[in-house]
A and B are shown apart, each in its own frame.
Chain A
Amino acid sequence: MEAINTTQTTENQYLTFILDEEEFGVDILSVQELRGWENATPMPNTPDWIQGVINLRGVIVPIVCLRKRFGLEDREPCPTTVMIIVKVASGDKERVLGIVVDAVSEVYNINESDLQPAPSMDGAISIDFVKGLATIDEKMVILLDINKLVNEGVLAKTDNEKAESVSA
């Protein structure tokens, strides 16, 4: 059965994680690794959802607190808190960032054709970062467009500021 499914339509694997009792998913190909939570070195004059930077085997990697980024209530890290290290294309290079989530959940095979467009939501999660909704075992999984999230939701903000400071 499984084999037939994969040959028929484009199927992607998603890694899902829990954030404030909702299940979110990101394309597994953009995930570099998972790391247990650790204290990051805070960076001054950055948005509060930038938790800081960590040393990932000699590479300085910024850490984004997804709870804060999505405007959810902040929570103390617990044993399941995980940093998902993602690699995304940004401009002409690849950037590595960490996102802090409550816990990782599953890996699902999801057909592109099974994706539902996200309805316009009033919540804090900007609709732009949502690629679509999928239903798995009667549960809803929100699939995030991680490239867009990083490029527009994390980096772009400060780029604007930079442009302003240059003109000023």
Chain B
Amino acid sequence: MSVDLEQFKEMFYEESSENLEAMESGLLELSEGGTDLDVVNTIFRSAHSIKGGSATFGFTSVAGFTHVMEGLLDEMREGKREAEAKIIDILLESVDVLRAMLGSHQEGEEPDDERANILKSQLVAIRDGGVSSSSGSESQAQAADSSSEVSGGTCQGWNIQFSPHEDLLQTGNDPALMIRELGVLGTLSLEMDDSRLPSLDAMDPELAYLQWNMTLKSGEDGNVPNQDAIEEIFEWVEDECDLTLEAIEEKRKSPDRRADERRQNDRRQGSRRGGEAGAKKTTQAAASIRVGTERIDAMMDLVGELVITQSMLSQLGEDFDMSQMERLRDGLTQLERNSRELQESMMRMRMQPVSFAFNRFPRMVHDIGQKLGKQIRLEMVGEDTEMDKTVMEKLNDPLVHLVRNSMDHGLEPPEERIDAGKDPEGYVRLRAFHQGGSIVVEISDDGRGLSREKILGKAIEKGVVTEKDAELWSDEQVFNLLFDAGFSTAEKLSDLSGRGVGLDVVRRNIESLGGRVDVASKFGEGSSFSIRLPLTLAVLDGQLFRLAGQTFVLPLVSIIESLQIRKELVGGVGSNAEVYRLRDQYIPIIRPASILDCSDKHESLDGGLLVVVEWDNRHVGLLVDELLGQQQVVIKSLETNYQKVPAISGATILGDGKVSLIIDLAGLFELSGLMNDRAFRIAA
């Protein structure tokens, strides 16, 4: 009976990616010094399970590659090798290669083995360079070594020395079976070595004493058995035997320079390819979510309760009279509680600890720090803070951008830091925490900070602000200029203030999630970016309002206040633009009704309702017909069945079953033409 392995593959990929992550974080831990045996063991175990799994699924190249890694790790585990930086780097690169290989298997493509082979030979070279090594790994080294030579095509066959350890039989392995399998691969001649066999009275029948020297040549079909096939046979006993695999060659070619060059090129291409594969993988991972069983159990309980409530209510409905009113009311209360709990528990399933997003940074900081020649310590606080999976996915890019910025432009090189009287090692701190109904992620560093003067100088030069006004601006206002598209993309700020381009994209991404980003900084002491996001994208606290007979929803978080318009405070700027004097500032009035083509009527403003909202640091008044209640609404995407509609961020279903549209303020302002109006921004 054949077992369908396909169904397990997905599980293997998922496990492998976890294992790879474990290896990566373990290696990074090692790179910070010390050979903690537990860590090495974890890495080893991860490598071992990837090897086992990939051998099961027939990914021989992956298995072969991990095998070599494992050999090296084994030596570290046994204390025969120090965790030098060079080795760690190669192992880290190997993790990338493995990820790429598994990625292409997952896509159903054949992985490109060349890069793996290069790394494999590098790993082997390291091992051969070692002072001491066990006979087992020596033989592995030779085996792998010959593989790189074999690729030249001069191999005629193999000399195999197979000496099982005494306890090989106890694990249920039988040398006879392995030898028989070898025989299938080609023409096998063998010689048994019974020198270890003790006299009969001293012999334990459960131990293996025999050893073999074998020669495996091409079989009837003329094909030389390949190394992978041979290794596969001994796959499960490699830790319980000494195995030497030697290629028999006619002419021994020394590896030529051309091959070296090719390797270099391949490596370059390989790393690029690796990156692409990595990116692909992350998008794919979005499709599934892993949920702890206890959460599912809790949900199951809730559903059970819901069913009970339902049957109770339907029983009540069978013959209802007014005397049962009380019970009906109880039942409905219970139903309400059940459904609210069910909703909450569903939300919790979508929650994941923010460490999923943070995990990539140790590696990134390690790599970039090395490249920039800066000493950077990464601190992560509050990794257990949970947030919605969809929010987290979209948070990734802005986070990477900000962390990169901090490392690249924020932190100074060690010499500069020493001159400034700071610790040569700078830090980048990632901190996540809950605050009210939002989650805050902070990226701070103790670098050179932002310079108010330089940013303002730039702003004045670009005509964003006049020299006179500039003095009145708060630091916050000044720093926020960095997020301005026209400001930061026009000229790289990196040479000016220490902050790079593209912060406008960061802000746009975060605002599209309904969040906001702020910056605080002290010149010479560092800066801190904080991202504030709603806990979830699936539910929104909404303010319902009516416009020309239609009900709309406005995100409650953006509303500052609502007021009744007093005619004397309305001013006109030009023909269409109206402004309202709200205490000491003028705010533009926009009429959503005409933007959302509900009505063409130009209603008088007097006595109308104005909802003052804040978006992108400015206040704007929206003219509405009527304010209705506030409630939590479940956001449904219009793009599921239709497509994006300007100024509408989604839809929701109200209590009466009707669909109501949720206003997207950014889109609304864009349509109103306010977006390009810098004057309002500054006024606000």
Contacts and interface: CB of A to CB of B under 8 A. Distances in A.
B308 interface: no
B437 interface: no
A16 to B, nearest CB: 24
Nearest to A155: B643
Contacts of A50: 642
Interface of B: 550, 595-598, 636-638, 640-648, 651, 653, 657-661, 671
Interface in A82-109: 95-97
Interface in A53-84: 53-55, 58-62
Given A43-B648, A44-B596, A53-B651, A62 B641 contact: yes
Interface in A25-56: 40-46, 50, 52-55
Interface residues of A, number: 24
A41 B641 contact: no
A32 B661 CA distance: 25
Contacts of B653: 55, 58, 60
Most B CB atoms within 10 A — which of A52, A54, A62? A62
A96 B641 contact: yes
A22 interface: no
B658 A45 contact: no
Nearest to B652: A60
B641 A44 contact: no
Given A41-B659, A45-B646, A45-B647, A95 B596 contact: no
Nearest to B659: A41
A44 B640 contact: no
Tell me whether chain B's interface is mostly helix, strand or loop, or mixed.
Answer: loop
A55 B640 CA distance: 13
Contacts of A42: 550, 598
Nearest to B668: A44
Contacts of A58: 636, 653
A96 B640 CA distance: 8
A55 B657 contact: yes
11 contacts: A41-B658, A41-B661, A43-B638, A43-B661, A44-B596, A44-B645, A44-B648, A50-B642, A58-B653, A60-B659, A159-B643
Contact of B597 (A40, A45, A59): A45
B595 to A, nearest CB: 7
A155 B644 CA distance: 10
Contact of B640 (A46, A59, A155, A158): A59
Contacts of B550: 41-42
Contacts of B661: 41, 43-44, 53
B509 to A, nearest CB: 15
A44 B647 contact: yes
A3 to B, nearest CB: 38
A162 B648 CA distance: 14
B539 to A, nearest CB: 14
B647 A95 contact: no
A54 B644 CA distance: 16
A61 B640 CA distance: 9
A61 B648 CA distance: 15
A44 B598 CA distance: 7
A46 B644 CA distance: 10
Contacts of A59: 636, 640-641
A155 B651 contact: no
B646 A53 contact: no
A41 B651 contact: yes
Interface in A123-162: 155, 158-159, 162
B152 to A, nearest CB: 45
A93 B661 CA distance: 23
Most A CB atoms within 10 A — which of B636, B640, B647, B648? B640
A45 B658 CA distance: 20
Contacts of B646: 44-45
A162 B644 contact: yes
